[in-house]
A and B are shown apart, each in its own frame.
Chain A
Amino acid sequence: MTSSEQALLAARPDFAAVARWVSQGARVLDLGCGDGALLRYLWEAREAPGYGVEIDDAEVVACVRNDINVLQLDLESGLLLFRDGSFDTVILSETLQTIHRIEQLMREMLRVGREAIVSFPNFGHWTARMQILLGRMPVSEELPYEWYNTPNVHLCTTTDFEDLCRKLGIRIRERVALHEGRQISFLPNLFGSIAVYRCAMV
């Protein structure tokens, strides 16, 4: 592993968890791909060719600079450009909380991909629960915004997410909870600050 990869994994511990579930050479679609760092990592670690979808101008230009195939599209209007089953894995990495129409997007992800990998900040983490208990909206490293300026519209806990999957007929194949880069197996909805799920249609 190069030093830049190490630095990347330190900054985004969910990347390694995502990469473990992407098979060698898989066709990957990364929704809300930012500057394409995950796709770059997957290309280097898994030789997985991919596309990123991103709406932000500066991030899209960064993707082009990083030699990532990027499509500047709004996820809220769905994945109309993608044919059924055209990807092995569709990734939604720390983007779920910013999406308005989550149900539609989750269905769309599993229409165009055989599998979906979804990661999000866990609102059920004990520090969030404590802050609510003390009468404040939670602010943390994963959720650094104040209630009045947050771009996040749909925060959830791991239990909430699993309920939604059940409702949509989505099967959870694997899951992992992380905190400060380490895997949490004891009471993950309490001690995991980031949750990563591997899903498929039932």
Chain B
Amino acid sequence: MAQKARFDAPLKLRSGAELPGFELTYEAYGELNAAKSNAVLVCHALNASHHVAGYYAGREDEIGWWDNLVGPGKPLDTRRFFVIGVNNLGGCHGSTGPMSVNPATGKPWGGDFPVVTVEDWVETQARLADHLGIERFAAVMGGSLGAMQALQWTLSHPERIRHSLVIAATARLSAQNIAFNEVARQAITTDPDFNGGHYYDKGVVPVRGLRIARMIGHITYLSDEAMMGKFGRQLRRAALGFDFDIDFEVESYLRYQGDKFSSYFDANTYLRITKALDYFDPAADFDGDLSAAVARAEAAFLVVSFKSDWRFAPARSRELVKALLDARKIVSYLEIDAPGGHDAFLMDDARYFGALRAYFGNIEL
């Protein structure tokens, strides 16, 4: 069941902006043991939320986004671990974000909500850990943007994390990655309904921009091979239409994904999350030397990449592994030959889940 935690102390953000206070929505599974040594934080990526596993009574179709991994008897076994999912600050699933009321104006923040970063998220998660009485996490894990948080935890609070599981990640976005994010942002900000982010009180939503942003994103989450396998050149109608309606299955799929996403996700949140991705670069303060940046980490690392992931390709994970090795950290690295592209991190694969199960099994409580 989703819970809320309220934090009244002001929060200084990396941008320099300050929030007077904030709320986080989170969910927890399993029991925190007496030694408080079995807590695992699961960080979400772009569009997910605190709802990691299970479903709510009467809403059986809304299964948690990593339910195949997290639960009783699953690789991250909630009979042994106390697992926490948090909706990140700036999100649109209950935590303080652009849709929340700005106490200074009494109106929704909208476009005035500050840009938040991975570092900011880790700070808010640390406050949640304080609130729950967790001094040190057994592990922090995540995929993609979630993995950036798992990595940042080892740098912001080295003494508060024992294991960091960094999956389908990169320690910094490439120019191509940023370019894709910029196209998504342009789709949103040029939508006539965007109104500089102040659209809530106007009764409109920049749906067109958001759905195009999602369609672009979705293409980058899948591999060419996976898309070809799933849709091929299969037609949606009996023959080519020689017009601009849907001809191919893949077009129908993208439109469906775009429609679905734009019906529940907030455009202001989407903009901010893509910026958090773009800005993440822990090596930047060390003249680009990632091994110097990770020198202060104390955690053991498990880094996992997927061969078919071209969004954050295995070469990006290998750069991180090299930096960790250079800094003499404890690290294991898996390069899984799964066809699913970037989204492979969400899919059950015997090798991948087998390794995660084994890794969690060896974490002493």
Binding site for B on A (CB under 8 A): 51, 57-58, 60-61, 63-65, 67-73, 80-83, 86
B contact residues around A69 at 8 Å (CB): 330-332
**Contact in complex: A60, B355 (CB < 8 Å):** yes
B332 with A70: CB separation less than 8 A:
yes
Q: Give CA–CA (A58, B354) in the complex, Å.
A: 9
A82–B318 Cα gap in the complex (Å)? Answer: 11
> What are 13 A-B pairs at a CB distance below 8 A?
A51-B325, A57-B351, A60-B351, A60-B355, A64-B355, A65-B358, A67-B362, A71-B333, A73-B318, A81-B325, A82-B325, A83-B326, A86-B325
Q: Are B332 and A81 touching (Cβ within 8 A)? A: no
| Contact B321–A71 (Cβ < 8 Å) | yes
B334 in contact (CB, < 8 A): yes
| Chain A residues whose C-beta falls within 8 Å of the C-beta of B351 in the assembled complex | 57-58, 60-61
Contact between B326 and A71 (Cβ–Cβ < 8 Å)? no
Q: Say yes or no: is B200 at the interface (Cβ < 8 Å to chain A).
A: no
Docked-complex contact B331 and A61, CB < 8 angstroms: no
CA distance A64 to B351 in the complex (A): 11
With beta carbons under 8 angstroms apart, the residue of B330, B331, B335, B359 that contacts A73 is: B335
The contact string, 1 if C-beta is below 8 Å from chain A, for chain B 318-339, is 1001100110001111111100
| 0/1 string, B348-365, CB within 8 A of A gives 1 | 000100110011011000
A117 CB, min distance to chain B CBs, angstroms = 20
Chain A residues, Cβ within 8 Å of B332:
63-64, 68-71
* A72 and B334 contact, Cβ closer than 8 Å, known pairs A57-B351, A61-B351, A65-B358: yes
B94 to chain A, nearest CB (A): 35
Once the chains bind, are A72 and B333 in contact (CB under 8 Å)?
A: yes
Given contacts A70-B332, A72-B333, A72-B334, are A81 and B355 in contact (CB under 8 A)?
Answer: no
A-B contacts counted at CB < 8 A amount to 51
Q: Which 7 A-B pairs have the closest CB atoms?
A: A65-B358, A64-B358, A71-B333, A81-B322, A57-B351, A72-B335, A61-B354
A81→B335 CA distance, assembly (Å): 14
B334 (CB) vs chain A CBs: closest residue:
A72
**What's the nearest-Cβ distance from chain B to residue A112, in Å?**
10
Return A78 CB to nearest CB of chain B, in Å.
12
Chain B minimum-CB-distance residue to A27: B328
Q: Distance in Å from the Cβ of A19 to the closest Cβ of chain B?
A: 22
Closest to A71 in B: B333
Q: Are the CB atoms of B321 and A61 closer together than 8 Å?
A: no
Residues B359 and A64 in contact, CB atoms below 8 Å apart: yes
B300, closest chain A residue (CB): A69
Contact A81/B318 with A61-B351, A61-B354, A64-B359 known, Cβ cut-off 8 Å: yes
Contact A70 B333 (CB under 8 A): yes
Complex: A68 Cα to B302 Cα, angstroms: 11
CB distance from A156 to the nearest CB of B (A): 30
Given contacts A60-B355, A81-B318, A81-B321, contact A73 B333 (CB under 8 A): yes
- A64 / chain B contacts, CB cutoff of 8 Å: 302, 332, 334, 355, 358-359, 362
- Docked Cα-Cα span, A63 to B333, in Å, equals 11
| Given A69-B331, A71-B332; A61-B325 close (CB under 8 Å) | no
Please give the distance in Å from B223's CB to the nearest CB on chain A: 18
- Check A57 against B325 for contact (C-beta < 8 Å): no
Per the bound structure, the CA–CA distance linking A67 and B355 in Å amounts to 11
Bound Cα distance from A64 to B354, whole angstroms: 9
Q: Which residue of A lies closest to B326 (CB)?
A: A83
Please, which residue of chain B has its CB at the minimum distance from the CB of A70? B332
Bound-complex Cα distance A58 to B332 (A): 15
A86 contacts which chain B residues (CB < 8 A)? 325-326
For the complex formed, measure the closest distance between the CB of B330 and the CB atoms of chain A, giving whole angstroms: 6
Measured between beta carbons, the chain B residues less than 8 angstroms from A65 are 358, 361-362
CB distance from A58 to the nearest CB of B (A): 8
| Cα distance, A148 to B354, chains bound together (Å) | 33
For the complex formed, measure the closest distance between the CB of A113 and the CB atoms of chain B, giving whole angstroms. Answer: 13
